[in-house]
Each structure stands twice: as C-alpha cells, then as structure tokens.
Amino acid sequence: MSGILALPEGCIAAVISSTTPRDACRLACVSTSFRSAADSDVVWDRFLPSDYLSAISDSDSSPKSSLLSKKELYLRACHNPLLINEGNLSFLLDKLSGKKCYMISAKALKIVWVDTPEYWEWISLPDARFPAVALLIDVCWFEIVGKINTSFMSPMTTYVAYLVFKSTHNSYGFHNNRVEATVGLVGSDGQTRTVYFHPNWQGIVPGDNHGLFPKTREDGWLETELGEFFYGASDEEGELSMTISEIHSGVWKRGLVVQGIEIRPKNGEFVSKFTEFLRDWYQALGEYRQLQLVKAPSTSQAMGINFREFLGDADQFYKQIRQEFFEMHCCSFHKKRYQVPLKNVSLPEGCLATVISFTTPCDAYRLACVSTSFGSAVNSDVVWYRFLPFDYLSVIFNSDSSPTSSLLSNKELYLRVCHNPLFINEEKMVYVVIDPVLFVLWENIFDKQPF
C-alpha cells in the first residue's frame, strides 16, 4: 500500500472532517480504509452542530445518544424532527450541508383571533409534527406573525421561510386574494412580497412558480415561500420576524390548516430544484439520447453533450460572448486593446511573485508555464517561503538528516521536505510535507519508488 492510502486512519478522518457530509459519503466509496475513516466519530462530530447534544437533551423524542454513533445521530437528525422548546419548535438538519432547520409551531405563532372559537379552532392531525395545529373557521382580518432568535441559526447561511399549511375541501377567500408576506429582523423594514395560498390565482400561470404559489412537500403538506434572510455571524444576532397578512380586501376567509412556519437553508432548496430539473430533462431525452449520454466514453464527452444541449456549439458560444463584451457601451477601450499578447504586458517580478504566493504549489507550477517572466517569479523565494510550513526551519535545525538550508533556495527546501522525510524526536517521529499533486507526479515518474 502506498500514497495517501498509507496514511493513518485518524489522519484521513481529520482531512475528511474538513469537507461536507456529501463529500464524506462520496469518499467512503474510494476504498475500505476511506470508508472506515469516513464513518468515524471524528468526522461526523464535526458535521453535527455544537449545540446538538444540548438540543436533543431537551427533547422528549430524542434518541439515546450514548447508544448511537455520531453518523447515526446525524442521520437521525436529518430524517426525524425533534421537538424542543417545550414542543413549540421543531429541529432538523439539512442532509447535504448539515445546517440547522426549524419549524415554529402554530401554538408559538401570533395569530390574530386565534383564541376566539368562532374564528379559529385547535385540532390534531396524525401527519403533523406538533400535537395541535390551527384550523381557520372564518375571519376577515387574516394575520400571522412568527419570530425566532437568529442565534438558533447556522452562521453564513441564507435561510428561506415557508408557511406550512393545508387547505380543506370548503376552503374559501384565498382564490382571488393576494397575501402579503414580510421577512426581516425586528426593527428593520424587511423584505416584502406577494404570495398565494391557492395554485390557480386568476391571471397567473401556475407553472411559472417562483416561490409565490404553494407546492406539495414530501410529507404531504403544502408550503408557500415567504422570503429570504441571510444570517452572517453571531454579531448580527436579533429576532427574525415573519409576517403574513391579508387585511385590506374585506373578504372573509376559511378552510386553512396552519401547522407552522419553517425556515431552512436555501442551498438545499437549490440542489433539490436543480436535481428535479435535470431528472425531467433526462427523461425527456428519449431512449436513444439517454443511451448516448450514459455510454459516453469519458466525463468530458458527457459534459460536452450537456453543453451542446443547453448552450449550443461551444466555439460559437464563446465567439458570441466575446462579441457581446466588445459591443458593451460601458467599455472605453477598443477591441484591439484586448488582443494585445500577454507578453507585452509587463508587471514587476516582485508583484507577480506576491500574487502567486497566495495560490498553491500546484497553481505555481502551472503559472510557470505561462511565460519566462512568470517562470522567474514562480521560482523566487517569496513564493516558496509562503508554501513552507512556518515551523520548518526549526524542525530541520533539530534533525540529524536535515539538508544544509543555507545553501538551498526555498523551492529546493520545499521539494526536499516533500521527497525526503526528516527524522525528529530522536528518530521516533518522521516529519514530511505531503503535497497531493506533487505526489501523483512523482509516483507516475518514478513508478515503483514510493513516496
């Protein structure tokens, strides 16, 4: 066994834990050693939110965490919503990203006239997450407000809010009435849009669904998108408010069953929609073209088929983009100025070296092939000093097998430490820098000389 597969399982697990849950599942298919590392608690503990254990400890429906692995806990959290906050909030994880999702129960929402039996009624449904949902009997003033503290959310995430509901057979008042939805932090103006609770509003084509019309969820309920909110970091904490109202028409409304308001990451929604779109496109290809795509001899040829299907001929596509760019009125340069060869554009070598030092060793090797000036900049000590570990000089100083660093350039030092492991700690440990790309090149060149 050679290469990355020879690394200790703990090392592989530490690398995989820096990816995503989806990547971890893919890497588990590489080999048995990768599968063992990808399934370890080290990996899935990183994917679980830091406050997950405290959240499930407050839930009556929580699994016995001590009896489950971290991966089993993660999958449970993706498929089995947990009721927290005294049953007023439902907690779930987005399967692809591991980000937190919540649904605010109808009991925790502020619904105007909800405590008046003539207007609203509390009922129980077997397919609902919560013990009680709100049934609209008859109201003229329809208004629902939900709030959740942003500290519950995953940072650096765009969330989308949805009203989760059902319509009864005698539903009335929402067919021809727009409903106003506002999403934003308490104290701000927020984002306001018009939404619908019935799929066949006059003058609007139901197929043109951009989140305005309700759609059916996997659990059989309906949901209408209310708006988006981006939660950046902990210093932006506050209360997210979601308001739904129809108070101006004077029309009486009935027959709506409200389960709650759900907020979940936007990325998972995009992947879901994109996957659905690709599936519909593939099924519409027909048997012959499906076979042509599946039997493509390489990934690049399969992607070429997709490119031609969606964008047309590649050469013509690039020519059109180039022409459109040159015809832009905001462009103050002439076309000839953009056709000046790169060799005529001169930048100081130190400037090029500084820019290249912010890339990777692999990118540096590629950039060295651009021109002689790039090659000179790439070989400079400025670049390779950034690629060397900060503690490398102190390590080689204490190593008996260290090269004479004062006689070598930083690039030569980098290659030495990649190719020649150093014995440290009285030869009880080996110090080596692993560059995956360089390793692949060396393995191909030297064939049977393992790294």
- Exposed / middle / buried, residue 16 (Cβ in 10 Å: 0-12, 13-18, 19+): buried
Query: Which of 64-68, 83-87, 292-296 shows the lowest mean pLDDT across its residues?
Result: 64-68
Query: pLDDT higher for 148 or 359?
Result: 148
Per the CB < 8 A criterion, the answer to whether 222 and 214 are in contact is yes
The residue assigned the tokens 């406050």 is 51
The residue assigned the tokens 């925790």 is 108
Q: Which band of pLDDT confidence, cut at 50, 70 and 90, is reported for residue 245?
A: very high
Is the pLDDT score of 131 beyond 90? yes
Highest mean pLDDT among 9-18, 266-275, 286-295, 435-444: 9-18
Predicted local distance difference test score (pLDDT) of residue 445: 33
For the segment 269-293, the average pLDDT, to the nearest whole number, is 67
**Could you tell me the CA-to-CA distances from 122 to 146, 242, 245, 340, 401 in Å, in that order?**
17, 21, 20, 73, 77
Amino acid at 70: K
Residue-wise pLDDT tens digits, 406-418: 667 888 888 877 7
Residue-wise pLDDT tens digits, 161-177: 999 999 998 899 988 78
Q: Which band of pLDDT confidence, cut at 50, 70 and 90, is reported for residue 90?
A: very high
Q: How many CB atoms lie within 10 A of CB 373?
A: 16
Q: What is the pTM of this model?
A: 0.59
Measured between alpha carbons, how far is 141 from 250 in angstroms, rounded to an integer? 8
Is the pLDDT score of 450 beyond 50? no
Is the pLDDT score of 339 beyond 60? no
Residues 6+ apart with CB under 8 A from 232: 155, 156
For residue 329 the two structure tokens come to 């009125």
Is the pLDDT score of 332 beyond 80? no
Sign of CA dihedral 218, 224, 151, 148: negative
The residue assigned the tokens 């027959």 is 255
